[in-house]
Structure 1
């Protein structure tokens, strides 16, 4: 076999922090295929990325924005392989115009996120983080929680992750309802939930978990006003699905008993979020995008995104293309 020199190797730009950070050596896999991994910043700041994009043949991209400006700066780029599922931060039309396929990793982290969503439900219902904080300062007083099996759980978005949540909830025994405009009632029923209208879901559920795509506002002051008092809201999807100021007000008013999320709108730039008010710390749980951070999910997302990138670099079609909206 002829070995390629470093000068002849293709460059795969990677801007996902956890790529090849699991059990699999994906950097080595890329090298065996004749390509070099080049690391870039996960936030996709254009000034920092521009010199890296100039020589990139493929881009395994994290959650940062991918704009027409980014693509213009990458004259050799042949594929954008999203490391994850969501593509709302990608200018798909700009990629289509340039003939650059965009892929994602459907299902790769579904089990991990479903696990995390159920974990956040339990943590919020039983005041787990708050109990830990109080014990550490000598406060052993008890806050009475609620059992998951006694709740009506509403799942907003019933794709792979939402269905995974329903499967996990079956062991606890709650009534599970789900709203998804893209699925038939029969499909929802066959996956362990009762089909329901979205507005009705917000009226009847004791626990609501969001698994819808970003780029839309699902929880605002109007919807919050019609919820049951004491509802717990879980968001392992996208920060922009909720009006954070309205959520904070609902927590103060008792409409919401708890908000548990794996994201904030703007994430690390959102340190001024009203949900981080210390006065709400006993009712708000926020984790730093832990949902997909399992060894198995990291390996799955990395393997799928790399396989699609290598396929395109070989002149083949990728297995997981995403079409422009």
Structure 2
């Protein structure tokens, strides 16, 4: 029987019934927050979050900022489970210091984001947006576009999503260049990819797709210097994190014709609202195909990540351990 002592707050939309049933079957009281249209949990103030989470033991969260102060004001909160894989908005040290657990939904959205990445490559390369816009205006002139087939594709980052993209690119007979902190000779041989430095990827790739985490070393990875190395026919794809790309520089390069196009699912303005006008200009360009941080949001992908997040919550509330690949920090064993 569900109890208030096992109250789990969900601040994400599209939480499916099967996952709700799973939580209920494991004696959790599920409280799904009905956020106003256009507002996500990343827009909630600390006071709003404290009010919604008062007394909760588990929290299934999207992009809210999880600070030391917030956690200190929520002493009952045992586990924070991200329905996603990034955690740059989480004070991981505070989670550990305060004896809490933070998990991610590892493996839940790999296929969805990889599909989306290939979709953006095709849409930008084949100029689908430009042609549809012209047709709607009555102009059926054929625009010459570019194949993905047999192109050189550079992937910066080779985690679960990057490896899923490699699998999909095989069907396009691409030459695949990869940059990763952990080059793997067996993987390179088995998957017919080439590990190389970032500069080589920038110089030689027709498509450059970002799959790295956002850390100090990768922030503004695509900046003026990086773009200067790229072919003018190159296309940049970002389904990872907005901070990997200097959007102001990207915007100017696209307007100047120094790049052929971009496929974007993430933006600097998600974390810095002062850049909203830059994002607006980017998504208005005819050679940009843009989506609203939705790469993981297929019905199937959401169902998978919901369940991964829920299983982590139940594991912690039961006194057990979530899957090792999902755990970012576990402070339960840390002396306090």
Report the TM-score, using the length of structure 1 for normalisation. Answer: 0.92
Q: Which moved more, 1:182-191 or 1:281-290?
A: 182-191
How far apart are residue 280 of structure 1 and its match? 5.1
Question: Which among 19, 29, 32 is matched to residue 26 of structure 1?
Answer: 19
Counterpart position of 1:230: 233
CA contact (8 A) 2:95 2:329 kept: no
How far apart are residue 157 of structure 1 and its match? 0.5
1:216-227 equivalent positions in 2, closer than 5 A: 216-227=219-230
CA distance in 2, matches of 1:209, 1:227: 13
Residues 265-318 of structure 1, C-alpha deviation per residue, up to 9 Å, x if partnerless?
133947734243279521111101221111221111111111110111111122
CA contact (8 A) 1:158 1:188 kept: no
- 1:276 paired with 2:280, answer yes
CA distance in 2, matches of 1:279, 1:73: 39
- 1:305 paired with 2:298, answer no
1:89-128 equivalent positions in 2, closer than 5 A: 89-128=89-128
Counterpart position of 1:82: 82
- 1:12 paired with 2:15, answer no
How far apart are residue 188 of structure 1 and its match? 3.6
CA distance in 2, matches of 1:272, 1:77: 34
Structure 2, unmatched stretches of 5+, are 34-39, 331-336
Residues 20-74 of structure 1, C-alpha deviation per residue, up to 9 Å, x if partnerless?
2xxx522222222222122345224212111122211011111222111221121
Q: Compute the RMSD of aligned alpha carbons.
A: 1.9
Question: Which among 260, 263, 267 is matched to residue 266 of structure 2?
Answer: 263
Residues 121-162 of structure 1, C-alpha deviation per residue, up to 9 Å, x if partnerless?
000001111211111110111221111113211011111111
CA distance in 2, matches of 1:107, 1:183: 21
Alignment size in residue pairs:
317
- 1:147 paired with 2:143, answer no
CA distance in 2, matches of 1:26, 1:160: 23
Report SS of the residue matched to 1:300. Answer: helix
Cα 1:51–1:208, aligned 2, differ >3 Å: closer, same or farther?
same
How far apart are residue 236 of structure 1 and its match? 0.5
Counterpart position of 1:172: 172
CA contact (8 A) 1:124 1:283 kept: yes
Q: Which moved more, 1:206-215 or 1:44-53?
A: 44-53
Residues 187-220 of structure 1, C-alpha deviation per residue, up to 9 Å, x if partnerless?
3443342111111111110110111112322100
CA distance in 1, matches of 2:183, 2:50: 41
Question: Which among 29, 33, 38 is matched to residue 36 of structure 1?
Answer: 29
- 1:134 paired with 2:127, answer no
Counterpart position of 2:255: 252
